[in-house]
Amino acid sequence: MDQAPPIVDRPKLYGFIMARNLQWRDCEAPLGRSHEYIRRVCLPFADPKRIVPPAPFRKRAQDWTAGEITPPDFDPPGSTNGLTGGQDFADVSADPAGRDVQ
């Protein structure tokens, strides 16, 4: 007999979206990001394509979900990252010295 696949750890936002049968595009306006960005935020914690959202995104998610999702819910269980984490597409527009690249 086959065993069920192991549970994959994902940010709590993924469960929020799936429980409400929302599409990624439904989340664009309230979260202020593209559906692809939101989808990548919700990938499993171990997925190298996952985006670790910055503090402003985490705050928007908390506001949109009326506090059901909190900033630490975007970090893996046991993480001490909290609001200090954050990877944004905007990060690729800066060079290592911190100057903006146009």
Write the pLDDT tens digit of every residue in 6-49: 445 999 999 999 999 999 999 999 999 999 999 999 999 999 99
Answer yes or no: are the C-beta atoms of 89 and 37 closer than 8 Å.
yes
**pTM score:** 0.72
Q: Is residue 16 part of a domain?
A: yes
Q: Is residue 2 part of a domain?
A: no
Q: Is residue 5 part of a domain?
A: no
- Looking at the structure of the chain, the number of domains it has is 1
Q: Is residue 6 part of a domain?
A: no
Q: Is residue 54 part of a domain?
A: yes
Q: Is residue 49 part of a domain?
A: yes
Q: Is residue 75 part of a domain?
A: yes
* Token pair in block for residue 42: 């919700």
Partners of residue 100 on adjacent β-strands: 94
Give the range of the structural domain holding residue 36, as residue numbers without chain letter. 12-90
